[in-house]
Amino acid sequence: MSIRDIKARARRDLHNGMKVAASFYETPAAVPRPVSVRVHTKFNQQEGDLKGTNLNFAEKEAEKPKLLFFREEVAMPPRNGLVIISLTEGYRLGQADPPDGLSIKVHVTVMKPEEIAAMPNLVLPEDL
């Protein structure tokens, strides 16, 4: 078994352990289908200058949320597609990074619960 095979197996195990069920809409009007995604919502906050500097860096730094898809489920997630995880958690798809082996990472915008509830064709993952 090569190091590449070991890495692919480890990534698959990580995805299987951290994935959440979601409803995937290729367009807002499309019929949803079930997928599993990993949600990356890391937020870095820095107050004031960085320690040991006086360079007046920005006071806050935030990382936009991302979703990680396995390419066997969604080969290339379309821009403006939707991923709904629950009535209070949904994402609008933006720019996708280049595929990275088994997966593809997509930058997303968080949807408000009111936007999710107002979807005429809303189907939650547990109903698919």
Summarised one tens digit per residue, pLDDT across range 9-22 is 888 888 788 899 99
Mean pLDDT for the stretch of residues 53-75: 76
CATH number for the domain including 18?
A: 2.40.10
> In whole angstroms, what is the distance from residue 111 CA to residue 55 CA?
35
Region of 95 (left: φ > 0; alpha: ψ -120 to 50; beta: rest) is beta
Summarised one tens digit per residue, pLDDT across range 24-40 is 999 999 999 999 999 99
Q: In sequence order, what DSSP letters do the residues of 85-114 get, joined into one string? A: EETTEEEEEEEEPPPBTTEEEEEEEEPPHH
> What residues pair up with 105 in beta bridges, in sequence order?
68
Mean pLDDT for the stretch of residues 94-109: 94
pTM for this one? 0.81
> In whole angstroms, what is the distance from residue 126 CA to residue 13 CA?
23
Domain count, the chain: 1
* Structural domain range at position 12: 3-127
